[in-house]
Amino acid sequence: MLLFVGLGNPSPDNENNRHNIGFKIIDAINQKFSLSKQKPKFKGLLTTGQIGDKKVYAIKPLTFMNNSGICIRELIEYFKIDAEDVMVFHDDLDINFGKIKAKFGGSSAGHNGIESIDKFIGKDYSRIRIGIGRPNGKIQSADHVLKDFNEEEQKELQDITDCIIKSLTILLDKKLDLFSSTVNNR
């Protein structure tokens, strides 16, 4: 049993923000693998189904980025999911746009959504870090993550999402290094 978490902010004006890349990945997983219809549960939008031989839950927390851990803790306690079986998709300023790094555990690197999850379930879970790059010029990081992807980035984002979906079975087996190298060699 695995739990996929996509981080983002639920308000409509945040839908295409860089910070909402995790939500976009969960939507793509739900569509590709025909998971159940999203239902509001555990302070998030929850879907469930099978991918290969694995039972999978996927959730988009509705608690806003900075309180994502509240949703995750409720869900894993209810379904008795080990933190080691949680995989969180999120944006990362410290990775160039379009690059992806998957890792187990580690630091939050100042990402408020990850800090919240660490606080509520500990650090022993997988993170799929999707690069959004640092802002150019005088734009503050907080403004950059809440800015929408531009038209060119939207096209590349579709390629990134497609590649993640095609390589998802590697994640199911928790082969994080292989996943990272596969998706970055697209």
Q: Are 29 and 21 in contact (CB under 8 A)?
A: no
**Any residues with CB less than 8 A from the CB of 51 and at least 6 apart, and which?**
29, 33, 168, 169, 172
Q: Which of 19, 90, 111, 144 is catalytic?
A: 19
A 10 A CB-CB count for 56 gives 22
Three-point CA angle 144, 148, 153, nearest 5°: 100
In contact, 7 and 127? CB cutoff 8 Å: no
The question of whether 90 is a catalytic residue gets the answer: no
Specify whether the CB–CB gap between 93 and 144 falls below 8 A: yes
Indicate which residues carry an active-site annotation.
Answer: 19
